[in-house]
Amino acid sequence: DSDISLKEKAAFKIGAAVKMRYLKEDAEYTQALKDNFNQITAEFEMKMDNIWLSEGEYNWEAADYLVQFAEDNNMAIHGHSLVWYRTFPNWFKNQDNDSIAFEAKVKTYITDVVGRYKGKIRSWDVVNEVFADGGGARDEAIIAPLFNDPVAFYGRCFQYAKDADPNAKLFYNDYSVVIDSGKRNAIKDMVATFKAKGYPIDGIGAQFHYGKSTGLTKINEGFTDLASTALLIHISELDIKMNANKSDLFVFSNSIAQEQSAIYESIVKMYEELPENQKFGISTWGVSDKYTWLTTEWHAKEYPLLLDTNFNKKIAYQGFLNGL
**Binding flag, residue 297, ligand XIL (CB under 6 A):** yes
Chain centre distance of CA 139? 22
Nearest residue to ligand XIL, scored by beta-carbon proximity: 293
Count other Cβ atoms within 10 Å, centred on residue 92.
18
- 43, 103, 237, 302: which is the annotated catalytic residue? 237
Among 38, 207, 260, 288, binds ligand XIL (CB under 6 A): 207
Nearest approach, Cβ of residue 237 and ligand XIL (Å): 6
Cβ proximity to ligand XIL: between 43 and 265 the closer is 43
**Binding flag, residue 284, ligand XIL (CB under 6 A):** no
Nearest approach, Cβ of residue 131 and ligand XIL (Å): 13
Task: Find the binding residues for ligand XIL in span 235-264 (CB under 6 A).
Answer: 237
- Residues counted in the chain: 324
Among 29, 102, 293, 317, binds ligand XIL (CB under 6 A): 293
Number of residues binding to ligand XIL, judged by CB under 6 A: 7
Nearest approach, Cβ of residue 241 and ligand XIL (Å): 13
The crossing angle, in degrees rounded to 10, of helices 150-164 and 181-197 is 60
Classify 282 as helix, strand or coil: strand
User: Is the sign of the CA dihedral 23, 33, 240, 136 positive or negative?
Assistant: positive
For 294-305, letters b (16+ CB in 10 Å) and e give bbeeeebbbbbb
**Binding flag, residue 43, ligand XIL (CB under 6 A):** yes
- Residue 237 catalytic? yes
- Residue 25 catalytic? no
Cβ proximity to ligand XIL: between 127 and 242 the closer is 127
Nearest approach, Cβ of residue 87 and ligand XIL (Å): 8
DSSP state of 156: H
Residue type, 10: A
- The answer to whether the CB of 317 falls within 8 A of the CB of 251 is no
Q: Write the DSSP string, 86-147.
A: GG--HHHHTT--SHHHHHHHHHHHHHHHHHHTTTTS-EEEEEES-BPTTSSB-GGGSHHHH-
**Binding flag, residue 291, ligand XIL (CB under 6 A):** no
Task: Phi first, then psi: give them for residue 233, nearest 5 degrees.
Answer: -120, 125
**Binding flag, residue 44, ligand XIL (CB under 6 A):** yes
Nearest approach, Cβ of residue 205 and ligand XIL (Å): 8
> For the purposes of burial, counting CB atoms within 10 Å of the CB of 119, is it exposed (0-12), middle (13-18) or buried (19 or more)?
exposed
**Binding flag, residue 139, ligand XIL (CB under 6 A):** no
Nearest approach, Cβ of residue 59 and ligand XIL (Å): 17
3-state SS string over 290-302?
Answer: CCCHHHHCCCCCC
- 45, 103, 129, 302: which is the annotated catalytic residue? 129
Among 128, 159, 176, 278, binds ligand XIL (CB under 6 A): 128
CA–CA separation, 80 vs 127, rounded Å?
9
Cβ proximity to ligand XIL: between 180 and 265 the closer is 180
Nearest approach, Cβ of residue 51 and ligand XIL (Å): 14
Cβ proximity to ligand XIL: between 133 and 273 the closer is 133
Instruction: Give catalytic residues, as residue numbers.
Output: 129, 237
| Contact set with ligand XIL (CB under 6 A) | 43-44, 128, 207, 237, 293, 297
